[in-house]
Structure 1
Amino acid sequence: MRRTVIIGDIHGCFDELVGLLEKVELAEDDLLVSVGDLVDRGPKPLDVVNLFRGRPNSVAVMGNHERKHVRGIYSYAQEITRLQAGDGYADMVEWMRTLPYYFENDHVRVVHAGLVPGIPLADQREEILCGSTRGERELQTLFPDSFWHDHYTDAKPIVFGHHVTGPEPLIRDNRILGLDTGACHGGVLTALSLPDFMIHSVPARADHWSQVRDQWQLPVLKTKPWHDYTWPELAREITRFSPTSDAPTTAWLTAVEQWSTDLRSMLPALVTAAHTTATRLDTDRLQQHPAAPYLFQARRNRLDLSSLTEQCTTPRKTIALATALQLNVPEFPR
């Protein structure tokens, strides 16, 4: 008999997914369905996506984590996934754009996060189905003292993920089934097979999110736009990450802080160099100079440390002026 096998939130836990499918004894003609959140927090998000993309008879619904990638909303977890996926990231996101917000067949309805009972799936708001922040707020407004599924009365089972239920799935009357059992946090990965209503699970091999977060912190930090932060923004980023960083990351952030300090300490020398250059060049050569706006200010005695500080508000602007005035600049930490 052809089964429908529904998997809870996978979050990049590819090895656990493979182990679970082996335990389920997934057949070629079985329909494999993901409740969404294939990616983020785990070690192998691209492998998980490629399994669903490459296997016939497979469906994944849009989770809030896929939606973040599709909409270009990057928090720490999404930045890590982007680096993990490497050259495959853009293609992965294009595939995510095609994901449906719900799935339904003769046996079951599947959404990632929730729905408003009594409204057909096709008329549900996408934000609610996938569990975006706005969708969560809307459900809380509608059901301030209960869960949305407390009000679900249809006979057809509804399966969802999104909220970790603990080490065991949420099962109520074989109609309401929550399958997010926290695999990426060291819990278990859970599957439901239908129509036999069998629960299958495998334990996580590690607290993946804790490990991935530490492993990828420095690579993610190195992708941040340090050259384009304003000086206060740069200082805030260093302060934000320093307390939670491991030794290599702390050392790198210290080097970035020193780089920032060295750049800002160049401002008096830049003022002097601008005045010297403005005095040395005639007007035609001054107009052609890459630092012309600053040089004309210097010629008119309108460039001092205070005014230059107001203009060189980022490392990039400071480096550009120093380079134009042929001054050596400190190298950004590798």
Structure 2
Amino acid sequence: MKRTLVIGDIHGGLRALQQVMQRATVTTEDTLVFLGDYVDGWSESAQVIDFLIKLSAKQPCIFIKGNHDLWCEGWLEMGLAPHHWLLHGGSSTAKSYQRYNIEAKLAHLAFFSQMKYYYIDSQNRLFVHGGFTSVYGPEQEEDETVCCWDRTLWETAVSMDKNLSSTLYPKRFKRFKEIFIGHTPTLNYHTDLPMHRANIWNIDTGAAFHGKLTLMDATTKEYWQSDIVQTLYPGEEGRGKK
């Protein structure tokens, strides 16, 4: 049976990605939607990109761009390494590229440049890294990079009454049947499980820190998780504190 599988923020944790894909018994019949932040954290950021490029040649994949991917793309293109990027996982990403030649880096840059800021499927389900602010949807954002950074969508969902009728949801929520996001770790809410508020699913379960990587079936909501990613990279700190 063909599935649409959604994968949360990876942050350089290739071992976690391989593990969770194995646990979900992913096949080439499945469509994989990655919610962004492939890099910055654990020591295999460049290797994650290698893996994803090869994977996309074997089966349908949708790659959403995250804020950390924006930073890495800027570094690959212009050599820009902002101090705040280096402090938030960029230093481990740069180190993972030390043995990559210019041709390999250009291939990765092309991969980053082709990522989508959001994806809407045939069932009117939105997949986006962070969120959006326009009541008319992400298509109407003046700056598409808002989709990589926004947290107000999720913050609004969390603050809403759980018993609120869907007819009373904010307009931007009602534009879509469901919305799948990453970006804001559920660890911030004291859980390493996916969270569901209104019609939004947050599946960033803290793989960059002391959480797990999550893969979810977008239709059934069955999900699989890696081990705590830190246990797969002994001696490393990932991105440290949230």
TM > 0.5: yes
Distance in 2 between residues matched to 1:50 and 1:59, nearest whole Å = 15
65-74 or 39-48, which moves further after superposition? 65-74
Give secondary structure in 1 for the equivalent of 2:223: strand
The answer to whether structure 1 residue 62 and structure 2 residue 41 are counterparts is: no
Distance in 2 between residues matched to 1:115 and 1:52, nearest whole Å = 26
- Count of residue pairs brought into register by the alignment: 203
Distance in 1 between residues matched to 2:137 and 2:30, nearest whole Å = 26
**Residue 211 of structure 1, CA deviation:** 1.4
Which position in structure 2 is the counterpart of 1:128? 146
The answer to whether structure 1 residue 156 and structure 2 residue 165 are counterparts is: no
Distance in 1 between residues matched to 2:137 and 2:208, nearest whole Å = 32
In the TM superposition, 1:75-224 aligns within 5 A as: 75-76=85-86, 77-86=89-98, 87=100, 88-107=104-123, 108-116=125-133, 118-124=135-141, 125-131=143-149, 139=152, 147-149=155-157, 151=170, 152-166=173-187, 167-173=192-198, 175-206=199-230, 211=236
Q: CA RMSD in A?
A: 2.5
**TM-score under structure 2 normalisation?**
0.75
Distance 1:170 1:3, change over 3 A: same
Kindly report structure 1 stretches of 4+ aligned residues shifted beyond 4 Å.
207-210
- Whether the aligned pair in 1 keeps the contact of 2:42 and 2:238 (CA below 8 Å) is no
**Residue 27 of structure 1, CA deviation:** 1.4
Distance in 2 between residues matched to 1:93 and 1:202, nearest whole Å = 28
- Whether the aligned pair in 1 keeps the contact of 2:42 and 2:92 (CA below 8 Å) is no
Amino acid at match of 1:54: K
Distance in 2 between residues matched to 1:36 and 1:206, nearest whole Å = 19
Which digits, 9 at most, give the CA deviation of each residue in 1:55-86, with x for residues without a partner?
Answer: 23112111000101222352222233122123
Amino acid at match of 1:85: Y
- Whether the aligned pair in 2 keeps the contact of 1:185 and 1:209 (CA below 8 Å) is no
Distance 1:27 1:44, change over 3 A: same
- Whether the aligned pair in 1 keeps the contact of 2:134 and 2:140 (CA below 8 Å) is no
Distance 1:210 1:8, change over 3 A: farther
**Residue 155 of structure 1, CA deviation:** 4.9
**Residue 200 of structure 1, CA deviation:** 1.7
Amino acid at match of 2:226: V
Which position in structure 2 is the counterpart of 1:43? 43
Distance in 2 between residues matched to 1:181 and 1:117, nearest whole Å = 26
Structure 2: gaps (5+ residues): 161-169
Distance in 2 between residues matched to 1:205 and 1:114, nearest whole Å = 25
- Whether the aligned pair in 2 keeps the contact of 1:5 and 1:194 (CA below 8 Å) is yes
Distance in 1 between residues matched to 2:111 and 2:235, nearest whole Å = 27
**Residue 212 of structure 1, CA deviation:** 5.2
- Whether the aligned pair in 2 keeps the contact of 1:49 and 1:92 (CA below 8 Å) is yes
Which digits, 9 at most, give the CA deviation of each residue in 1:70-127, with x for residues without a partner?
Answer: 2235222223312212314343223201111001112421100011252233222323
- Larger C-alpha radius of gyration, 1 or 2? 1
Structure 1: gaps (5+ residues): 215-334
Amino acid at match of 2:48: V
Amino acid at match of 1:147: E
Distance 1:79 1:90, change over 3 A: farther
Amino acid at match of 1:109: L
Distance in 2 between residues matched to 1:161 and 1:187, nearest whole Å = 13
Amino acid at match of 2:178: P
Distance in 2 between residues matched to 1:116 and 1:20, nearest whole Å = 32
**TM-score under structure 1 normalisation?**
0.55
Amino acid at match of 1:123: Q
Which position in structure 2 is the counterpart of 1:5? 5
Question: What percent identity do the matched residue pairs reach?
Answer: 22
